């Protein structure tokens, strides 16, 4: 682990690529956090960065971590990136390097690319290049926190534009009665997808589910409806 000569890393990279694996290019705060979470979920990760200190900081934490310049086609070829199904370009502090890296990967025609965009213009360029998945971590987190700040939701995930999954306490009017008897979908236009009682595991909800005080629920519906429901007490 640690700093690998480029040419000695190819065989290891190919072995990783054959498993449930992802290559993460750019090991700053976002890239390293994503890579470590992938490892924790059982995915093998090849980490690539051009900065020695970032590579050394993840020494022993990822399946393989390499110091390399990902903007160079010969470097990515030597690392067998064309054999990976998925590559995340998490470069955030150098837009030119992000664009060049994505361009090189797209010419390989093999990996599905997830690329971080630092702003709308950067994201537009990545989309025009043909990057399959453009993500906006800072923008998306800001929107998510805004929804949490303005309402009573405990957590919030926008599934698609205008449609959300909201975590909230169960309102008093829906306690101690089967969900099927509440006419919830008609009156509030949301669905209770799951619930948690205390520290017990989450359980899928159905018409027979009876919620009690202290339960936490997951609400699915149009963003405005789900947030309005989370405000109920």
Same domain, 224 and 123: no
146 plus 110 within the same structural domain: no
Query: Within a domain: residue 101?
Result: yes
Kindly give the interhelix angle for 137-150 and 223-231, rounded to the nearest 10 degrees. Answer: 40
| Confidence (pLDDT) at 143 | 77
Token pair of 144, please? 């998510």
Is the domain of 28 the same as that of 100?
yes
114 within some domain = yes
Residues 30, 112 within the same domain: yes
Q: Which of 61, 59, 107, 58 is nearest to 87 (CA)?
A: 107
176 Ramachandran zone, left/alpha/beta (phi>0; psi -120 to 50): left
Two tokens at 8? 């000695």
Q: pTM above the 0.85 mark?
A: no
| Same domain for 118 and 55 | yes
Q: For the chain, what is the domain count?
A: 2
Which residues make Cβ contacts (< 8 Å) with residue 169, sequence separation at least 6? 152, 154, 214, 215, 216, 217
Check whether residue 182 and residue 157 sit in a common domain.
yes
CATH of the domain at 197: 3.30.70.1450
Q: State the Cα–Cα distance between residues 188 and 116, nearest whole angstrom.
A: 36
How far is the CA of 201 from the CAs of 166, 178, 210, in angstroms? 17, 20, 16
What pLDDT, on a 0 to 100 scale, did the predictor assign at position 1? 39
Q: In order along the chain (233 residues), what is the average pLDDT of each group of 10 residues?
A: 45 59 93 92 92 93 95 93 91 93 91 92 96 90 77 84 92 94 92 94 96 95 91 86
pLDDT at residue 15, as a whole number: 60
User: Measured between alpha carbons, how far is 80 from 201 in angstroms, rounded to an integer?
Assistant: 41
- Same domain for 116 and 158, yes or no, is no
In a domain, 2, yes or no: no
Domain membership of residue 147 as a residue range: 141-231
Q: Give domain status of residue 194, yes or no.
A: yes
pLDDT of 4 reads 40
Q: What is the pLDDT of residue 188?
A: 95
Q: What is the pLDDT of residue 79?
A: 92
Q: Within this chain, do residues 69 and 152 fall inside the same structural domain, yes or no? A: no
What pLDDT was estimated at residue 158?
Answer: 86
How would you list the strands of the sheet with 163-169, edge to edge?
155-160, 163-169, 216-222, 190-196, 203-204
- Kindly state whether residue 191 falls inside one of the protein's structural domains: yes
Q: Are residues 120 and 174 in the same domain?
A: no
119 with 175, same domain?
Answer: no
Residue 35 falls inside a structural domain: yes
Is the domain of 28 the same as that of 101?
yes
Q: Output the six-digit token pair for 121.
A: 């213009």
209: which DSSP letter?
-
- Maximum distance among all alpha carbons in the chain? 66
pLDDT at residue 6, rounded to an integer? 42
In a domain, 182, yes or no: yes
């Amino acid at each position: 682990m640690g700093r690998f000569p480029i040419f000695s890393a190819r065989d290891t990279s190919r072995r990783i690529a054959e498993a449930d694996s992802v290559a993460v290019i750019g090991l700053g705060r976002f890239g390293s956090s994503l890579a470590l979470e992938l490892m924790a979920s059982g995915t093998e990760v090849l980490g690539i960065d051009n900065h020695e200190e970032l590579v050394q900081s993840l020494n022993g934490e990822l399946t393989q971590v390499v110091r390399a310049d990902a903007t160079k086609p010969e470097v990515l070829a030597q690392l067998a990136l064309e054999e990976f199904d998925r590559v995340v370009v998490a470069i955030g502090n150098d837009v030119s390097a992000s664009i060049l890296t994505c361009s090189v990967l797209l010419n390989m025609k093999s990996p599905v690319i997830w690329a971080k965009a630092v702003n709308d213009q950067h994201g537009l360029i990545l989309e025009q290049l043909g990057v399959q998945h453009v993500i906006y971590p800072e923008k998306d987190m800001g929107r998510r926190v805004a929804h949490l700040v303005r309402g009573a939701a405990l957590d919030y995930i926008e599934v698609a534009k205008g449609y959300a999954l909201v975590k909230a306490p169960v309102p008093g009017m829906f306690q101690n009665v089967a969900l099927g008897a509440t006419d919830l979908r008609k009156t509030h236009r949301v669905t209770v997808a799951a619930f948690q009682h205390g520290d017990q595991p989450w359980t899928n909800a159905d018409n027979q589910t009876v919620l009690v005080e202290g339960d936490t629920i997951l609400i699915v519906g149009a963003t405005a409806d789900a947030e309005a429901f989370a405000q109920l007490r």
